[in-house]
Structure 1
Amino acid sequence: MLKLKLDRKKIDFEYEFADGTKETFSYLDPTTAQLECIVGAEGVKQGMQAIKTVMHGCLKSGGEGAVDKLVEEQTSSGNIYDFKSMLDVELGKLKKSAKKG
């Protein structure tokens, strides 16, 4: 008999902020509801905001305000969309290796 359970994948990573401080984060696989938020967005501007909202919801950290700080830094000084894509690629690698194992 096949037994299934909820298995939301995540990757852990360390991020060094522009000010030199470091924080450990987890990036969780987006949920169906989060993906629907992106797909259901009307127009480019709403779509971009949805991606930032989902990114914020998928990041976890023990540091107070660390998620807000990372999202703000990537939005104002980096490219949060490329950053999310990089995390999604790493998450995909984890999923692929889990299927092999």
Structure 2
Amino acid sequence: MKLQAKRLFIEFEYEYLDGSSASFRYMEPTTELIDGGIDIRDADVKEKMEYAKKALRSCLSGNENDIEKMIAELTTHANIYKFKVTLDEALGKLKAEGSNG
């Protein structure tokens, strides 16, 4: 058996409010991100919410300008936390199917 460090990911397209769109990958969190989440379990709510945004940003892959534009739009015009949950659920379904990893 041959093993390697490989992160599961989903690919998705995001449509901006201006009608343009961009493609991204959302990768499963690394051990460092998971450990960081455990480290702040006793933190206040604001710190936990900031960590969730940091984790989302760390798991996104794509054009940096597009990522920043999407995060800014989600922050001001939507619920970035719900968006992250949607991506996590899609990643979980992929993992359950045994695909891509």
Given the two structures, how large is their TM-score scaled by the length of structure 2?
0.87
Q: Which one-letter code corresponds to 2:80 in the other structure?
A: I
Corresponding position of 2:17: 18
Find the counterpart in structure 2 of residue 96 from structure 1: 96
**Residue 56 (structure 1) shift:** 0.6
Q: Which amino acid aligns with 1:61?
A: G
Number of aligned residue pairs: 97
Q: Please state how far the C-alpha of 1:55 moved relative to its aligned partner.
A: 0.5
For residues 81 and 75 of structure 1, the distance between their equivalents in structure 2, rounded to whole angstroms, comes to 9
Partners of 1:73 and 1:47 lie apart in 2 by 21
Structure 2 counterpart of 1:87: 87
- Map 1:19-98 to 2 at 5 A: 19-41=18-40, 42-62=43-63, 64-98=64-98
The Cα shift of 1:71 comes to 1.2
Select between 37-46 and 23-32 the one with higher mean Cα deviation. 37-46
- Unaligned stretches of 5+ residues in structure 2: none
Where structure 1 has 5 or more consecutive residues not aligned to the other structure, the ranges are none
State the shift of 1:24 in Å.
0.2
Over the aligned positions, Cα root-mean-square deviation in angstroms equals 1.4
CA distance in 2, matches of 1:36, 1:69: 28
Q: Which residue of the partner structure matches residue 8 of structure 2?
A: 9
Give percent identity, aligned residues only: 38
